[in-house]
Structure 1
Amino acid sequence: MHGLTSNRHVRALAMVIASTLTACGAPGTPSALGPLVVHAGSATYTTIDGPEATFEGIVRVRALGDPTPNKIGGRDYQLVTATETLPMPAARDMVAPFVNREVIVDGKILTQQWPDDGQMHAELWIGTIRTR
C-alpha cells in the first residue's frame, strides 16, 4: 500500500488519536490537569486584600445572559462548590480545559461593585488550579 492508507500509517494515526484523547480527558479516561498558574504572583493578585484560600468544586461555563462585568468572547467561567457559585471572570479561557471537572483552586475572593447592576459581588481570582 502507498500513501496514508498503509497499515503502518493507520497504526501511527490511531496512536496519535488515542494519546490526544487521553491527554484531553476523553469520556471514561481519567486525566489529571494542572497545576496551572493563572494569577499567582501577578501584581494584581498580590494586591487583592485577604488571605489565599482553597476551594473545591466543578468549573462551569457561565450561561450567556448572566450578569458579569468581564464577558470575554461571550464566555465566562464559574466555580460551583457545595455551598456557593463563584464567578471567575478574570480566569479567561485559561481554565477552559477544566470545564466540567472537579478541581481544587487556590485563590482569593475579590468583592467589587459590578457596573451593570451596581451591586457588590464576590469573584474568585485563581492563583492556581488543578484537577482533583
Structure 2
Amino acid sequence: MLKTTPQQALFDLIYTQLLGYGIDVIDFKELNSQLTYPFFVLRDVEASKSKYTMENVGGELTVTIDLWNYADDRGQHDSIVYAIESMLTVIESIESYQLILDGMIIKTLNDIKNSDRQLLHTVIIATYKLF
C-alpha cells in the first residue's frame, strides 16, 4: 500500500475532526451549492519540504480553515473558533510524521456582500514544522 503524503495525512485528520463538530465541511468546488450556516471550508494543505533522506522528510505544512457564520451568532462563532484553535494546537503527529505548531493566524472579517444577512468570515491559518 502506498504511503500518504504528510499534507494529505494532515488534511484527513483535520477533516475528520471538523466533522465531529456537527458542522458541514466543504471544499471550494462545493461553494456554488446551497449552504447552511455555519460551515467550514478546508483548503488543501500546503507543503514546503526542505530536508529529504531515504527515510525522513522535513519542512513546513500550512493548513487554512475558513469558518462562515451569521454575524448575529457572534458568540457561537467565537466558540467554534476557540474550539478549532484548541484542536489545531494539540496536533503533534500524523501517521509516521512529527509536527510542532509553529504559528497561527486568526482573522475575522465582516462580510455583507455574499448574503442577504451580515456574515462573519474567519480564516485560521496554522503552520507546523514537519519532522
For normalisation by structure 2, the TM-score amounts to: 0.28
Greater strand share, structure number = 2
For normalisation by structure 1, the TM-score amounts to: 0.28
**Larger-Rg structure:** 1
Identify which of structures 1 and 2 has the higher relative contact order when contacts are C-alpha pairs closer than 8 Å and 6+ apart.
1
